[in-house]
Amino acid sequence: MKQETGVTGAERLLLVLTALASHGNAMSIKDMLGATGLAQSTLYRQVALLKRWGFVTEDAGFYAPGPVSLQLALGFDINSMLVEASRDGMMQLSRTTQESVGLIVAVNDQVICLEMIESTHSLRCSFEKGRAVPLRAGASAKSLLAFMADKPRAETFERQFADDDPHAPPWRRSWKASARAATR
């Protein structure tokens, strides 16, 4: 998630945490600079503050979520009403279909797996609890994107695909044109 203009100090901290959370592996400062769009001096200040509070750890110049992040995850697991309300239905659906069932939500241009009931088959879903992917990647993400309201979907699409993005699908121009019309 790149920095946008007018980002507050608190949002800079959240940019760093979000980059670390979504990366999956420890990150170098160079990686975090690319992921956040922050100035190097700003990034070092944010990382130092997050380290001091236990949200980030450092090992040989690589940074990862710290132990306080685990406390946040545990708090989410214990208190998520959405996961709790969905679990029985997910288990029944998995038993009935004998397939994996995931509870996946869209947050900040990515999709995050909140819960996963695994199939008994040896072939399993590529998602796992806590894993996130960009909102433009994969069938689950694209399904959530397709059912978003027009304006948020259009805004997400604008952020996800730059006009010169070589990884953008060939249909992006027509979708971007309709997305621009929806935001007006």
Residue given tokens 């959405």 in the structure block:
82
Structure token digits, residue 42? 């700003």
Q: Is the pLDDT of residue 154 over 90?
A: no
175 vs 102 pLDDT, higher one: 102
Name the burial class of residue 149, with classes exposed (0-12), middle (13-18) and buried (19+) by CB atoms within 10 angstroms of its CB. exposed
pLDDT at 81: 94
pLDDT at 8: 86
**Nearest residue to 101 (alpha-carbon basis) of 111, 114, 110:** 114
For the domain made up of 9-70, the CATH class stated in words is mainly alpha
> For the segment 60-119, what is each residue's pLDDT rounded down to a tens digit?
999 999 999 999 999 998 999 999 999 999 999 999 999 889 999 998 888 899 999 988
| One-letter amino acid of 111 | V
